[in-house]
Each structure stands twice: as C-alpha cells, then as structure tokens.
C-alpha cells in the first residue's frame, strides 16, 4: 500500500505525522509529489529526522519524491553526480529522489516520476537561495518523460504539476512550459496510465479526465492513498481543503480564499522556520 503525499515545504512535523499514520496503517511506501523542502539549506530538519530514524532503527516507510518548483535542484544534482545513479538519488536514509523521467516499480505498479513546475512568486525569492531556475525541466528531460511514457507504459504517473487537461484555476498556467509539455506528451502517447498524482496546487481533490484518475494530494500533512482515501494528519492540514456540495461545483472555504501570492509568502516564512539542508 502507498500513501501519496502533498507538498510539505520543509515541515518535519508533517513528515513525522505521516510516518506514524503509515506505520499504523501498515503502509510501507510514501510517494511525495514535490515541494518537499528537503536539503533546502544546511542543517535540514527532515534529513536529521531520517538519519535519527535509521540510527535508532525505528520503523517507517520508504519515501520517494519527484521534486517540485520549490526544491533545491542544484543540491539534488550534486548528490546524483556524487552517488553516480542516473535513476534514483538518496536524499537521506530511507528517502529518495526519483530522477525526472525515470520509472520504478512500487507495490507492483510501474511509477513514472517527473518533478518540477513554474513558480509564480519568483519576484519574492532570491535566485540560488530560495529559487532555482532548474525548477523547469529541460527539453531533454521532457523527451525522457515522453520516451518512458511510451516505452515503459507506467500504470502510475507522479508529477508536481498536472497536464492542462486537468482544469485548475491558476493565472497564466496555459502558457507555462511544464503543464503544456505534460499535456503534449499525454496527447501524443498511445499509452493511457491508470492514475496520475500531483501536487503544486494545494488542494485535495480528484478528477477523471480521458479515462485517467487524476489526484491532487493537498499539502502540509494531506495525502491520498492507493486505495482511494483522502486524509490529513499534519499540524498544518485542512488549510487547503476543497469541498464539493452535492450537484454543485467544488469551492474553497470562504476563510481560505485569497491570492496565491499571499499563500506563497506564508510558504517562504515556513521555509525560514523549518529550513532545509
């Protein structure tokens, strides 16, 4: 069984809470859909958590992430080169980054990973410190994603952003490279995956589009399960909860509505508080 976990933004308390829930439920795999915040800067609390878990031989699931637009891509690339693995990078004991366009079999299903997206808050960030240009995948990485989609025929796709066929209310999304190229790959491939999990949009919601089950995994302790449940366990959970009344369109709680910029300003403060490594 697998938990598919939303954006964490460096919040180690959410990692610990998800671990506890996974242990209780007998879940041994956690797939995190980017904006993890691990190795954001030095002395990362999440790295310390996983090292302590290993040192104390505590139980816990193995984590896998695709990476998001708010992750330290140069640091992850440095680790990849150091470890010499073109498919998977150990970010901490029991916690792995699956390289863009790589596949791996988890719980009997082939998963295709592809992290990254475009930030709408670059003006609020400092390049090389809180923002990295590598957030947008390269042309070669998009090609590898398409090749893996065609050749490996994955049942499950893990991305940070979603293709454009998933209608999400975000200004300018239709012109951004990542959702457009994901859509192009899906359009030109004859393979149809069963499920597609993503993050980035901070909502916990599911759609069926063109016979694919799409799932946005929330953030700050929210997650979806491989058997179809929606959950939140972290101290910051419920902030993004999206409701749907019977026979009506989904809507956010009135108290939660506001600009994306305000939301990202909060995330920057969380990064300052919780750090990265």
3 forms beta bridges with 30, 225
Burial 127-155 (b: 16+ CB within 10 A, else e): eeebbbebbbbeeebbebbbebbeebebb
| Domains in the chain, number | 1
Q: Do the Cβ atoms of 114 and 70 come closer than 8 Å?
A: no
Tens-digit pLDDT profile for residues 132-168: 999 999 999 999 999 999 999 999 999 999 999 999 9
pLDDT category of residue 40 using cuts at 50, 70 and 90: confident
The answer, yes or no, to whether residue 202 has pLDDT greater than 50, is yes
pLDDT digits (tens, 9 = 90+) for 46-69: 999 999 999 999 999 999 999 999
pLDDT given for residue 135 in this prediction = 95
Residues 90, 56: Cα–Cα separation, whole Å: 19
Share of the chain above pLDDT 90, in %: 74
Does residue 131 carry a pLDDT above 80?
yes
More confident position, 244 or 92: 92
Q: What is the pLDDT of residue 235?
A: 54
pTM above 0.75, yes or no: yes
- Boundaries of domain holding 68: 2-274
Would you state the pLDDT for residue 269?
Answer: 44
Q: What is the DSSP letter of 86?
A: S
Q: Which two tokens stand for residue 148?
A: 């893996």
- CATH number of the CATH domain containing 262: 3.60.21.10
The CA distance from 10 to 39, in Å, is 9
If pLDDT is split at 50, 70 and 90, which confidence band does 126 have? Answer: confident
Which tens digits make up the pLDDT trace of 206-223? Answer: 999 999 999 999 999 999
The answer to whether the beta carbons of residues 35 and 73 sit under 8 Å apart is: no
Position 257 pLDDT exceeds 50? no
**Residue 120, pLDDT score:** 87
Three-class SS of 99-136: CCCCEEEECCEEEEEECCCCCCCHHHCCECCCECHHHC
Predicted confidence band of residue 22 (pLDDT cuts 50, 70, 90): very high
**Residue bearing the bigger pLDDT, 73 or 169:** 73
In angstroms, the CA 222 to CA 216 distance is 10
């Amino acid at each position: 069984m697998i938990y598919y976990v939303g954006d964490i933004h460096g919040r180690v308390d959410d990692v610990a809470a998800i671990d506890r829930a996974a242990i209780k439920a007998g879940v041994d795999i956690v797939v995190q859909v980017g904006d993890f915040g691990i190795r954001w800067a030095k002395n990362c609390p999440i790295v310390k958590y996983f090292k302590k878990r290993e040192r104390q031989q505590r139980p816990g699931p193995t984590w896998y992430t695709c990476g998001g637009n708010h992750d330290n891509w140069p640091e992850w690339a440095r680790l990849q080169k150091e470890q010499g693995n073109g498919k998977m990078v150990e970010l901490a004991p029991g916690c792995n980054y699956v390289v863009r366009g790589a596949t791996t079999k988890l719980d009997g299903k082939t998963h295709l990973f592809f992290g990254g997206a475009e930030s709408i808050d670059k003006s609020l960030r400092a390049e090389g410190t809180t923002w990295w240009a590598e957030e947008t995948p390269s042309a070669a990485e998009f090609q590898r994603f398409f090749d893996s989609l065609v050749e490996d025929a994955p049942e499950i796709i893990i991305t940070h952003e979603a293709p454009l066929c998933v209608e999400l209310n975000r200004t300018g999304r239709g012109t951004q490279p990542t959702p457009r190229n994901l859509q192009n790959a899906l359009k030109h491939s004859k393979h149809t995956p069963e499920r597609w999990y993503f993050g980035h949009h901070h909502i916990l919601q599911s759609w069926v589009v063109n016979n694919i089950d799409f799932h946005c995994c929330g953030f700050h302790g929210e997650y979806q399960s491989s058997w179809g449940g929606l959950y939140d366990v972290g101290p910051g959970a419920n902030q993004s909860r999206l409701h749907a009344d019977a026979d009506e369109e989904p809507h956010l709680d009135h108290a939660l509505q506001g600009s994306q910029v305000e939301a990202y300003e909060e995330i920057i403060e969380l990064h300052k508080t919780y750090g990265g490594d």
